[in-house]
Structure 1
Amino acid sequence: GSGGGGSGGMGPLQDITIWIAGDSTVANGQTPCPAGWGGSFAALFDDRVTVVNSAVGGRSVRTWLYYVKTAMDSAGECELDRDASGEPVLQDRWVRMLDDMKTGDYLFIQFGINDGSRTCDRHVGLDAFKSSYGMMARAAKERGAKPVFVTPVSAIACDGSTARGTRGGYVTATQEAGAEYGVPVIDLHERSVALYNALGFCPVPGGDVSATTSGPVGEFFCDDHTHFARSGAAQIAGLVAGAIRDQAIGLAAYLE
C-alpha cells in the first residue's frame, strides 16, 4: 500500500490520525499480557498515519465516555454525573480526542465486552449502547472525521470442536447502530470466531484457558479466554485491517 500509489488520481494522501476508543481487548497494554489489537494497529499502516489508542481496560462505552454512578435510574441505566446545566460530564480522554480530531481522520469504536454487566457502573442497555455510539459518530462527523464501528471481539468458547460467538446482543446492537447512523461496521466478532476455527482452537485443552494452557491457544490468549497475548493481539489487528480492505473503507489506501 505504500509508495505513493493507490490514491486514485486524487493527489497525494494527507497525513491523518486514527483515533481508537475501546476496552481491554483494544487497549495497548503495559505488559505482554494482556495486549489489545489497538497496540498492533499502527504497524499495519504507512507513515502518513498516526494511531492514538485511547482504549482503556475495564470500560463500557459509558464509563469510557462519562463519569458513571453506581446507582441505576428508573429506566434501568446507570446514572451519570451531570454539570450545573444538566449535561453529562465528559471524561478527559474524549474531550482531548474531540479537540484534536480533524478532517480526514478516522474514529474506531469497539465496546460490548463489559457493557453486559448487570450492575452499575458498567451496565449499559442495548438502546443506550446504540445511542452512545450515535453520539460519538455525530461528534466525529462534525469534525470531518469518519467513524467506524467494530463489533466486540469474541472470547474463545467451544461447542465441541467448533468455536462459537460470545458477545450476543452487543454484536447486533453495533450493527444496528451502524445502519441507523450511517457508519460502516467491521464485524470483528464474526471474523474472530472464523479465525479461532481456522486455527483449530477447539476444543480448548483443559476446557478453558488458564495460565497453564499451552500450545497455540496458550500462545494466543493470556490466562483467560478473553484477553490476548501480543501475538494474538497482532492477529486480531490483522483481521481489522483485512476488513478495511475487504469493505473498501477509504483508510485502505494507507495500509502497508
Structure 2
Amino acid sequence: MKKFFIPLVVLAFLALSFTNKPKITVYLIGDSTLSIKAVNTYPETGWGMPFAWFFKSDVKVDDRAMNGRSTGSFLKENRWQPIVDSLKAGDYVLIQFGHNDEVPTKKTYTTPEQYVTNLTKYVKETREKGAMPVLITPVARRAFVDGKPTDTHKEYAQLVRDLAKKLDVPMIDLTAKSMALLAEMGEDKSALLYNHLKPGQNPNYPKGKEDNTHFNELGARKMAELVLQGIRELQLPLANYTVDHQ
C-alpha cells in the first residue's frame, strides 16, 4: 500500500484555514447607557461592556455607542458610515437610541418622524450588507411615581415597537424588561443598579453622585443580561455563540 505524505506547509495552511474563519461581529450603536466608559468615570458602566463577555471567541462585540448621541448626531458625526463599510454577511447591529432623541431641550433632539427615518436607515443599510439589525427600545431610567416605575420613554419606545413590526425587524423591548426589573426590586433597592455614590465614597466623584440614568457595574450587567435574554427569546442564531451554549 502506498503511503501519502502531506507536506508540513500544507498541514499548517489547512490548520490556519480552519482556525481563521471570519468572526461574527456584533456592532452596538447607541448612547451612553451602553457605551464604553472612560476610567475616570468609574463605576459608571454601559451595558455594552459586560455584554461583550457573554460570547465565545467566534464573536467580536464592537461597541461603537457614544455618550450623548442620538440617532441624528450619530449620523452627522459620521459614526455610522465606517460601520456600514465594515459590515459583512452574518454580522449583527444592535441599535438602541432614544435618551437623547426625545429631549426637546437637547441639541441632539430628533422629532418622532426624524427618529423613525434614522432608525429605518440603520436597518435598511444593515440588511443591504447581509447583516442582521436588531432594534432595542431605550433602557429605563430610574423614575418612580407612587412607588411604581414610570416610563419616561413612552413615545419613543413605542416608535421602535411600531417600526420593528412594520419592517419585520427583530426587536428587544428593553424598556419593558428593565422597568419590570425596577418594579421587582422596588424604588429603594433599584438605586443599587445606578451610579449612586455618597460624598467621599469614590475619588472620581468626591462630591457624590445621584444618577438615575447611567448604571454601575451591577446595573450594567443586569441590563446586558436582559438584552441576552431578548436574543434568546428571538431565537437568533447569535444565541448559539454564548459561552454557556453546548
Structure 2 counterpart of 1:224? 211
Structure 1 counterpart of 2:238? 251
Contact 1:26 1:39 in 2 (8 A): yes
**Is 2:12 the partner of 1:26?**
no
Contact 1:161 1:202 in 2 (8 A): no
Structure 1 spans left out of the alignment, 5+ residues: 1-12, 68-90, 214-221
Q: Tell me the secondary structure at the aligned position of residue 223 of structure 1.
A: strand
Q: Tell me the secondary structure at the aligned position of residue 130 of structure 2.
A: coil
2:47, 2:177 → 1: CA distance?
Answer: 13
Structure 2 counterpart of 1:49? 59
Aligned positions, number: 210
**Is 2:49 the partner of 1:39?**
yes
Residue identity in the other structure for 2:96? Q
TM-score normalized by the length of structure 1:
0.76
Q: 1:213-250 CA distances to partner (integer Å, 9 max, x unpaired)?
A: 9xxxxxxxx63110101221111000000111112122
Q: Tell me the secondary structure at the aligned position of residue 189 of structure 1.
A: helix
Residue from 159, 163, 177 that aligns with 2:163: 177
Q: 1:109-152 CA distances to partner (integer Å, 9 max, x unpaired)?
A: 10000112214631101111011111111111111100000000
Residue from 17, 24, 39 that aligns with 1:16: 24
- Cα RMSD (Å) of the superposition? 2.2
Structure whose residues are more often helix by fraction: 2
The 5-angstrom pairing of residues 88-167 of structure 1 reads 91=78, 93-119=79-105, 121-167=107-153
1:200, 1:40 → 2: CA distance?
Answer: 24
Range with bigger deviation, 128-137 or 30-39: 30-39
* Structure 1 residues 190 and 176: alpha-carbon distance in aligned structure 2, compared to 1, 3 A threshold: same
* Structure 1 residues 200 and 18: alpha-carbon distance in aligned structure 2, compared to 1, 3 A threshold: same
2:135, 2:143 → 1: CA distance?
Answer: 23
Contact 2:101 2:109 in 1 (8 A): yes
Q: 1:4-33 CA distances to partner (integer Å, 9 max, x unpaired)?
A: xxxxxxxxx962000111000010111323
Range with bigger deviation, 41-50 or 30-39: 30-39
Shift of 1:159: 2.4
Q: Tell me the secondary structure at the aligned position of residue 17 of structure 1.
A: strand
Q: 1:37-61 CA distances to partner (integer Å, 9 max, x unpaired)?
A: 1111111111110011000001111
Q: Which runs of 4 or more aligned residues in structure 1 lie more than 4 Å from their structure 2 counterparts after TM superposition? A: 202-205
Residue from 144, 157, 173 that aligns with 1:187: 173
1:233, 1:210 → 2: CA distance?
Answer: 13
1:119, 1:232 → 2: CA distance?
Answer: 27
1:209, 1:228 → 2: CA distance?
Answer: 5
Q: Tell me the secondary structure at the aligned position of residue 211 of structure 2.
A: coil
Q: Tell me the secondary structure at the aligned position of residue 242 of structure 1.
A: helix
Shift of 1:153: 0.3
Structure 1 counterpart of 2:7? none
2:141, 2:43 → 1: CA distance?
Answer: 15
2:227, 2:90 → 1: CA distance?
Answer: 19
Larger radius of gyration: 2
